[in-house]
Each structure stands twice: as structure tokens, then as C-alpha cells.
Structure 1
Amino acid sequence: MYLKLLCVLSVLLISSIKVQAEWFSSMEQIIDLVRHESLLAPTLQNYIKAKMEILLKLKTYGDELSEIADKVSANKEEYIIHPINQYHLIKRFATQWTEVNQLLDRFNRTGKKTDFIKNATRLFPKEEDIKGSAEGILRIQDTYNLNTSDIAEGNISGEKGHNSLKKLTTDECYHIGKAAFNGGLYDPCTHWMQFSLQRFEEGKQNFSKAHAEEYLQLCKMVSICWAIVATKAQISSDDKSYKFSANSKFPKVCRGDVKIVSKTQSQMDQLKYYIKNYLYIGYILNIKMIQQPSFPRISRNMWERKLHCYLHTNNGNPWLMFNPVKVEELWDSPHIVQFYDVITSAEVDKIKKLAKPRLFRAIHFEDKEDSEVFQKAAYRITKVSWLNDTSGPVIAKLTRRISEITGLSMNTTEELQVANYGVGGEYPPHLDVASDDHRKRMYDHPDGERIATFLIYLSEVEEGGGTAFVRAGVAAKPIKGSAVFWYNMYPSGDIDIRTFHGACPVIIGNKWASNKWIRELGESFHRQCKLDRNA
């Protein structure tokens, strides 16, 4: 505004110069100079004042953002794995850095440094990213049953005391409550709105107390109604509604609340003795284990599940005879095992380096009335990339190693899927094969269904991020370099719904994982099809 006025006055001044170039030779023109100066001086002052206000705001932002950046840089790795810090980081870029860019535009300055900031803002997080990170915090809270006040104080996990750099403000608590309401999480919504109202100070918040109270009452009412509906559905559920029962059980398995009978203390003592006395000299057990053992159909509470740890050579595979793989049985029926040290840290780094520039939001197949389309999987909080054996020697080497460990052919496997999870990243319970109903409608894959899954953990996750097998009631821990293996189908070719599984939300950490899906075609001699599904 002031700049435009200065331009107008400049035009008037120039027009006066054109009328008469000599000012000293006419008193009237000297009087005109006085008039021009009386207009220009206050305009210049107002312009400077406006610029100083912008500059003061920029300085305030600069001091605040520099202070935070210094604290983050001092402990970058510890900072970035905390979901509250992730939320604040995304919010800073979506709000404060965006405001900085707007102030720079108003300041009307050009140069390399300001242009760099302006250009960078095009890639900055937006409002949807703030919403997504808030939903991530809610997923963590809902799954692991965390206290609202603890989260608001920045303590996302009471056990290990991981505290965020900054606490959540009252406004942020309110907006997380709104995100809970919009996401259908009415019980958490109630807690966040109650907490926001407890902290509310008139004139200091950017939300209305009446709005918060309205949300609170609405969430309470809907929460009660939903509890009644869910209870009725659970009472009337049968084996066909395995998805509903599995989804309701998923948080419990992630938390480890499902009590199962496993190894006795004597077995644990024997295992420790074995590791101490034999493992260090490379003692080899020639055990065939990549198969589905048959167990009598009896209540799990009536007998002890015999789960073991051992060294695996896949029936004397030459490579594994000299370097056997450590195995832990997670469950017996279906047979779920976890291999350890199947990939080195150097190989992991190479895979991440190949995958990072190719990451894109995970998509899913949707069968509509007139078309079959792939859409963004809103329920899957992760980005993925696909790497084949030609992507790099490390991928081809890993493929051969998977074949040696499992004894299966890799001729009809899918490309290696590499996934990096986001804020509270999870993948709800699902099957890696199509369900019976969907299989009839979906086009047949030329290589058949996914007969088996080989899931590799590419990073350490401090808390959360496990793989929960909801029907078995067991969760695999995401240990870097380890891999979980299971068959998705019975030997008869029927889909095994007992493998219903999901990725638990990440609480603390940066989760990287990869999947190698092995398809039916080519496995006729490695895993023969039999009439008896349990054979």
C-alpha cells in the first residue's frame, strides 16, 4: 500500500520536473517542494514502520525457530522418533514456516536466501499433514491405551519415559480431540475435550469453550451408542465374521494383553544352557521346519504349546550347514517362525538407499461395479517402493538367501516391497491373500495366490511396530535383521484365515520393513498340494 503511494508521489514529482527543470528560479516551485516533502516524509515513515513490524515478526520467528533447530540438531536421532515431536515438526512447517514465507513476500525482498525459503515452501507440509500426524497420535493412544494427560505432557510411553521436546498446548489438545471426532474415535475425543476444557483460559485459546463443550457432549453420547452396537455385534459374531473379531482383538495383541501358555521355565533353562554350551562352537541341528505341523484340535488352555528355538539348515543346505539360521517358533498352528540375522546392517543401508527416492503412498486394489482401480490406502500409514533383482546386487543376493532359508522357488515371487512407516504408522489386520468372496470376483493372477510371506525388519523400533497375528494372539517384535515367515494357505490350497495379521502402530522409532511374497506357481515340488488341508 505504502509502496504504491510512494510510486504515485514519485510520478507527480517527476511530472513537476518535466514542467520546469530548474527549481531555484521559481518560488512557486520551491513551495511545491515543501508540499511534496510534507506528503513524502510521513509516507516514508509509515512504510518503514510497516516494514519494521514485518521485520520484527520475522525476527521473532527467526529466534524461536533457530532455538528449536539448535535443540533438535543436538539430539536429532532421539528427537525424530517421538510422535509428539513429529507432530510439532510437521505443524511448524505447515504454519510457522508458511507464515515466514508470506512475511517475506510482504517484505518485498529478493535474493538468494529469501528465494531459497520461498521455493522450499512449495514442498512444505500442509494442513492435511497436521491432521494426519494428530490421527497418528490418536492411533497410538487408542491401541496402547495411553493416558491423555501423559501424552499432553509429552510422555508417550510411561514405561521408558520418552519425553518430547515441547508439551502439547491447549489449542493442540483441542484440535487432536476434533481429529478424534472426525475419525470416529469418540472415546478418545471425550478425553481430549475434557482435558482441553480443564486447561481452558478465557482469551488465551483460539477455540470457543462452547464448541469444546458441544464436542464433549456429542462424543459422550455417540461413544455410549457405539459401545452398545459393538457389544451386540460381538455377541452375535460367528467364525465367518473373523474380520470383526480380529479387529477388536488387534489392540490387545499389540499391547501384549493376550495371555498364552508358552515355554516353561525348565525349557527356558535348557535353551540358555544350549546357547551357552553349543551355539558358540557352531553346533548344527539338521531340522526340517518349513512346514505346517498338525496338532490335535483341543482347547489351547488344556495343553501346553510346545514352542522352540533352534538352528535351521533346511535339510542340510550347503550354505546353511556352515552358517545356520537362528529360529524362534512364535506359534505352532499356523506355523509362524522368526529368523534372526538374515540380513546385515550394510545390506539394510543399501536397500534403504535404493528405496528412499522411490517411496510413494501405499495403494490398494478396489473392485467397483464397472471398473477395477487402485486407490490410496488411507488406512495404511506408510510409503512403499518396489525393488526387483535388477535394482541392485543386494536385492538379487537377498532373493537367493530367502530361497535357501525357506526351500521355496523364487521364480514366481513378487518384487521386494520396502515400506517406511509414518506417525503412528500401522497396517490394520488383513490377509496377504484375497478372501474367498473377493477371490471369485478378482481377476486371476497368472502366478496364483500368495502362498507364503517373508517379512524382514530393516530397523530397530524402540516401542510398538510389531506384527500382530490376532487369531493366534501373538506378536512378532520388530528386531533389525530378523524376518518372520508363514504360509498364507493350507497345503490343500485353501486360504488360512488364521494368518490374519496387522502391523501395530509405531510408538517410538522409525520403522522400515520389507515383504517378499511367494506365489503358488512353481512351488508344486517344494510344497505339494494335498487333499487334507492339515496334511
Structure 2
Amino acid sequence: MMKMHLVLSLLGLLSLSCAHTDFYTSIGHMTDLLNTERDLVTSLKDYIKAEELKLAEIKKWAEKLDHLTVTATKDPEGFLGHPVNAFKLMKRLNKEWVQLENLVLKDISDGFISNLTIQRQYFPNDEDQTGAAKALIRLQDTYRLETDTISKGNLPGVKHKSSLTAEDCFDLGKTAYTDADYYHTEPWMEQALRQLDEGEESSVDKVTVLDYLSYAVYQQGDLDKALMLTNRLLELDPEHQRGNGNLRYFKYIMSKESNKSSSSLSEGEEVRTRKGRPKDHLPERQKYEMLCRGEGVKMTPRRQKRLFCRYHDGNRNPSFILSPTKQEDEWDKPRIVRYHDIISDEEISKVKALAKPRLRRATISNPITGVLETAHYRISKSAWLSAYEDPVVARLNNRIQGLTGLDVSTAEELQVANYGVGGQYEPHFDFGRKDEPDAFKELGTGNRVATWLFYMSDVEAGGATVFPEVGAAVYPKKGTAVFWYNLFENGEGDYSTRHAACPVLVGNKWVSNKWIHERGQEFRRPCNLSELD
């Protein structure tokens, strides 16, 4: 049985790359880890069962020998006067106790340990744990979630509610602390402390939490609170070396500041103020996060009147005349349209099955060199599918061409993407701007004239596609697709198409993109004679 589970586990690992695969960036790949853990649990249960059988056999030995020795020691000479008893004593001490010794020393954990050792090399590493922790912190910021809400698992649309322990909260705070992100260290250490104060048993203690928390608070400029927390730490552990050192330092700083008025600060000395959210919280990011929360969407009554639903035949394309598609206007400028029931569940399953074994950390095109590279602001995995690989891919390409009227022979291959924990793609342009002349030079097909985006899953919460420049938000809906032009008819880039994929709060987001290029569109979408149009 142990060998069977070892083989099953090894077969499951064949789907994983020998190199580390950034598990946290794809929910799809993380499901492989659940299967691996399931096999390990089965192997562990087999080991426990074998140990229990071994222990039961030892107990039988003990019970038999206990009964025998109690009887024998009451009348040793009379007992050994029986020649059979004398013979059996010699035999027991010569052979049977050796057999018992071998039974006790028998190691039946080899199968489980071998299984665990083999699979450990494919386990997530520190980078994955850190990435998942940062994803939770990113979700906390984007959706303005309280640490208590996350810790108790009270998220919208959850199917499998789960909570964080005090140790989990401490680890999240420590992740932020390691990055000198004291803004996020504080609330997570406070959450850990709150759960400990409520009586939760944990491997982490209050002294350790207070040590990190007091320093994080001090780094943000709140000396009074830092002093209060340090005093509480020393009440629990009066001999704490760092706590005593911090206490003396905080008192020294406070006494020094009390002797100075705010008007007499020496040159270059900073006024002690509470620091806010750290790095890169720019106006665009604020707009982006507001749209992700469903705030700031500029859907005015006047705009709403210009948006319609219709049956679309792809400009009398023969494939859609008898069976037109349902088209809905999502936005006017830039014009974003959604096609409903445009990809079937069977097609989605096939595309995912083709893509999953090849999912790799998603890349972006370096605007200077044009070379593909990974980026921290795109948390997902992707794979590229060619039309020749399967009839389903070819059929989807033909469908896009028929509905848009654009030539897809020069388009990029179908890119399938699966988002990970808190998966997102921060604001970006799909087209290459004037200061990025080599963005798509290697392809030789010109700029990206348009974007087609299939939604291949529903998302319980989060995961919207938002356009910060115009205040638009488009929500994932399985089986639909959205389409927009990135370039005006004169070939200039439409900067209002700057968009982002919001972090997935709850759920598993699968999409596939088709980026259509300029070459081949000369007669399908001719360039306008006016530079201003």
C-alpha cells in the first residue's frame, strides 16, 4: 500500500516542473499541490495504521509475558521444577526476546519518509509563502478590509470559510516587517495580539508580538504608543534586553523633544508625525483601487442612454447571419463591447486542459528592449496556444475574426492566463507607445490595434477589468468576451484604454486574450486620412 501511494504521488509530480514554478501566481497550479497533500495524508494514515498494528503486537507480547512472570515469580523453584518451563525460559531469553527487540526496533516509516522527501523538493518555498502573504496584504489595501475580517474569513462569496491563527497573523506582520513596511506590520501584529489576549493558544507569545509591534509603531512616528507597548512587554518579561534598551531610548527621545518647542527644531530635524501608507500609492493607483471596489465608476445617466444591447451578425458575416451573437455596449469612449455566450463550457474546458500543463509565470514586454520578462505587478501564469494545436483554438480564432472583421492571421497566439492568490495586473497599455518603438519589433506585425478578452470563469469577488482614465469597470462573466480598439483609425494610441485586472478577492479567474496587430488590417480597417480623427 505504501509503495502504491508513493507511485501515485510520483505520477502526480510529473505534471510539475522540476524547477520552482511560482505556485502562488496561479490557482490552477495550486490545485496540484492539494492533490499532492492528499496523497501525503493517505501515505501518513497508512504509516499510522502500520505503527498501530506494530504497537498492538508488542502489547500482546507484554500481556503474555506479564501473566507468565507474575505466576513464575510467586514460586520460582516450583515453576522451574517443571522441565517444560525451564526449557521455555531458556528459549525466551535466547531467541524470543531478541525477536521482540527486532520488532520494537523495526522502522516502518521508510515508505512515508521516502514519499515526503521526494515530494518536498516540489513544495512551495519561502518565495511562495511571502508572495501569498503579500497578496493578502494587497487585498487588504485594495478592498479596504479590516484585519479582523480577513482573519475570521468573512469574505464575500466564500464557499469554504477559513480563519487565521494568531501565528498566521504574526507571520503576515513579519512579512511586512521584513520589507520595512511598518504600515502593514502594525495592524497584523495588533490582530495577533488581540487573538492572544482573547485566550487563543499559540506557539507565538505576546512578548514576541509586542517586540515587533512596538518597533513598527515607533518607525511610524508614534512614540507615545511605542512607549506604552514597550511597558506592556516589560510587564510580561522584565528582563527583556531589547525592550529595556528601547524603553531607555524612547524616554530619552521624549525628554529631548519636550525641551524643544516645535519652532526651534534644528535644521534637518523632522517633526515626529504619524506616517501613512508607504510607497507607490499614486493618484492612478487610488483610482484603480476605487474602481476595483466598485467606487468611482462614471456611469452617468447620459452615458447609460448611449449604451445598447443588440444581436450582432459580424457585419453580415455568413457564419453569424443565421445565428447572430448577443452584443452589449459596456462603455462608449473608448468603445468596449461584450459578447455573451461566445465561448461554451466545453470549449473552455478544452482550452484550460491544453494550457494548464504549460502555465508559466506571466510575462510582459519590456518597453525598451521588447524582451518578455516577469514583473511583480502581474501576478498570474499564462500559456500560449496556436491554432494548429487543436480545432477548438482554430475555431475561436475564426470566431474572433468573423465578429471583429479583423484579420487574425497576424495576431498573437491565444494567451491563456490563470490568476493566483490576489492575482492582478496593474494599470498598463496593451499597445506600444511612441517612446517604445521596439515593443513588438520581433513580431514584425506592427502595433496592437485591438484586444479581445475571453472570460473563462466567474469570480465570486474582485477580479474586475477596470479603466482608470475613464472610470469604467467590466466584471468577469463566464462564457462572455469583451473587445476594444487600442489604436485610433489614424494609428495613434488611444490612451483612454489604459486598463488593469483587479486583484481576485475570492475565486479562481481564468481568461484568454487575443491581441490583434496592424498588419493585415489595411483594407479591413483602413487608416483615416485625418491625423486628428
1:205 aligned onto 2:201: no
The two structures, once aligned, show a CA RMSD in angstroms of: 3.5
* Corresponding residue number in structure 2 for 1:351: 351
Distance 1:303 1:508, change over 3 A: closer
Q: Does 1:317 align with 2:317?
A: yes
Bigger shift: 420-429 or 112-121?
Answer: 112-121
Corresponding residue number in structure 2 for 1:139: 138
1:175 & 1:223 partners in 2: Cα distance?
27
Deviations 1:516-535 (A, max 9, x none): 00000010111111143564
Match of 2:65 in 1: none
Letter in 2 for 1:198: R
2:515 is matched with 517
Map Cα deviations across residues 306-338 of structure 1 (whole Å, 9 max, x no partner): 111111112222221111111111111111111
Structure 1 residue corresponding to 2:169, chosen from 170, 173, 197: 173
485-494 or 436-445: bigger deviation: 436-445
Letter in 1 for 2:175: A
Aligned-residue sequence identity (percent) comes to 36
Q: Which residue of 2 aligns with 1:489?
A: 487
Deviation at 1:471, TM superposition (A): 1.4
Q: For residue 219 of structure 1, report the CA deviation from its aligned partner.
A: 4.5
Q: Secondary structure at the match of 1:518?
A: strand
Correspondence 1:292-311 to 2 at 5 A: 306-311=306-311
Per the alignment, in what secondary structure is the counterpart of residue 195 of structure 1? helix
- What do the CA deviations read for 1:42-83 (whole angstroms, capped 9, x no partner)? xxxxxxxxxxxxxxxxxxxxxxxxxxxxxxxxxxxxxx9xx9
Report the 3-state secondary structure (helix = DSSP H, G, I; strand = E; otherwise coil) of the residue aligned with 2:295: coil
What is the correspondence of 1:455-534 to structure 2 with a 5 Å cutoff? Answer: 455-532=453-530
Inter-partner Cα distance in structure 1 for 2:470 and 2:336: 10
Mapped to 2, the partners of 1:142 and 1:184 lie a distance apart of 17
Contact conserved, 1:342 with 1:482, CA < 8 A, in 2? yes
Which amino acid letter does the alignment assign opposite residue 130 of structure 1?
A: Q
SS of residue paired to 2:127: helix
Q: Distance in 2 between matches of 1:439 and 1:305?
A: 39
Find the aligned partners of 2:376 and 2:186 in 1 and give their Cα distance. Answer: 24
Aligned to 1:335: 335
**Which residue in 1 is equivalent to 2:288?**
250
Whole-angstrom distance in 2 between the partners of 1:223 and 1:461: 41
2:326 aligns with 326
Rounded to whole Å, the distance in 2 between the matches of 1:216 and 1:477 is 38
Matching residue of 1:189: 185
Structure 1 residues 107 and 441, CA, compared in 2 at 3 Å: closer, same or farther? farther
> Take 2:184 and 2:153, find their aligned partners in 1: how far apart are those partners?
17
Q: Which has the higher Rg, Structure 1 or Structure 2? A: 2
Q: Is the 8 A contact 1:146 1:156 kept in 2?
A: no
Q: Which amino acid aligns with 1:493?
A: G
Q: 1:308 and 1:372, CA in 2 relative to 1: closer, same or farther beyond 3 A?
A: closer
Distance 1:381 1:445 in 2: 25
> 1:168 corresponds to which letter in structure 2?
L
Aligned partner letter, 1:461: V
**Separation (CA, whole Å) in 1 of partners of 2:179 and 2:530:** 44
- What residue is the counterpart of 1:274 in the other structure? none
Query: Given the alignment of the two structures, is residue 129 of structure 1 paired with residue 128 of structure 2, yes or no?
Result: yes
Q: Which of 372, 375, 379 is 2:373 aligned to? A: 375
Matching residue's letter, 1:122: Q
SS in 2 for 1:439: coil
SS state of the match for residue 407, structure 2? coil
Give distance in 1, aligned partners of 2:303 and 2:114. 70
- Return closer, same or farther for 1:496/1:367 CA change in 2, 3 Å cut-off: closer
Alignment of 1:57-456 (within 5 A): 111-157=110-156, 160=157, 162=158, 164-182=160-178, 187-200=183-196, 204-205=203-204, 207-219=208-220, 224-225=274-275, 244-262=282-300, 306-366=306-366, 373-439=371-437, 443=441, 445-456=443-454
SS at 1:342 equivalent: coil
Q: How many residues align?
A: 389
Give the whole-Å Cα distance in 2 for the aligned partners of 1:465 and 1:423.
11
Distance 1:518 1:165, change over 3 A: same
Residues 297 and 473 in structure 2, CA contact (< 8 A), matched pair in contact too:
no
Superposed CA deviations along residues 226-267 of structure 1, whole A, max 9, x for unmatched, are 569989xxxxxxxxxxxx54322111111110142345xxxx
| 2:361–2:381 contact (8 Å) kept in structure 1 | yes
- Is 2:463–2:475's contact at 8 Å kept on the other side of the alignment? yes
Name the amino acid aligned to 1:212.
L
User: Structure 1 residue 150: deviation in Å?
Assistant: 0.9
Matched AA of 2:527: C
Deviations 1:367-393 (A, max 9, x none): 67xx77543222211110000001111
The CA deviation string for residues 384-438 of structure 1, in whole angstroms up to 9 with x for no partner, is 0000001111000110000011110111000000011111111111001123323
Whether the 8 Å contact between 1:452 and 1:489 is mirrored in structure 2 is yes
CA contact (8 A) 1:427 1:503 kept: yes
Gaps (5+ residues) in structure 2? 1-23, 49-104, 223-271
- Distance across 2 between alignment mates of 1:118 and 1:380: 32
TM-score normalised to structure 1 length: 0.65
Residues 450 and 485, structure 2, Cα contact 8 Å, conserved in 1: yes
Give the distance between the partners of 1:325 and 1:376, measured in 2 at CA: 36
Summarize deviations over 1:463-500 as a string: whole Å, max 9, x none: 11111111121111111110010011111111111001
Are 1:187 and 1:223, in contact at CA under 8 Å, matched by a contact in 2?
A: no
Unpaired stretches in structure 1, ≥5 consecutive residues: 1-79, 232-243, 264-301
CA contact (8 A) 2:431 2:448 kept: yes
CA 1:486 to 1:480, structure 2 compared with 1: closer, same or farther past 3 Å?
same
* Separation in structure 2 between the aligned mates of residue 399 and residue 364 of structure 1, nearest angstrom: 22
Whole-Å separation in 2 of the counterparts to 1:362 and 1:166: 28
Structure 1 residues 504 and 372 mapped into 2: Cα distance closer, same or farther (>3 Å)?
A: closer
1:250-299 per-position Cα deviation (integer Å, ceiling 9, x unaligned) = 11111110142345xxxxxxxxxxxxxxxxxxxxxxxxxxxxxxxxxxxx
Structure 1 pair 203–190 and aligned structure 2 pair: CA distance change class (3 A): closer
- d(CA) in 2 for partners of 1:401 and 1:314? 9
Preserved contact between residue 325 and residue 340 of structure 1 (Cα < 8 Å): yes
The residue type equivalent to 2:416 in the other structure is V
Answer yes or no: is the 8 Å Cα contact 2:185–2:213 preserved in 1: no
Contact 2:196 2:202 survives alignment (8 Å): no
The one-letter amino acid of 2:137's match is: L
Following TM superposition, by how much is the alpha carbon of 1:189 offset from its aligned partner in structure 2, in angstroms? 3.5
Give me the TM-score of the superposition, normalised by structure 2: 0.66
Report the Cα distance in structure 1 between the residues aligned to 2:183 and 2:131, rounded to whole angstroms.
19
Offset of 1:116 from its aligned partner? 2.6
Shift of 1:152: 0.7
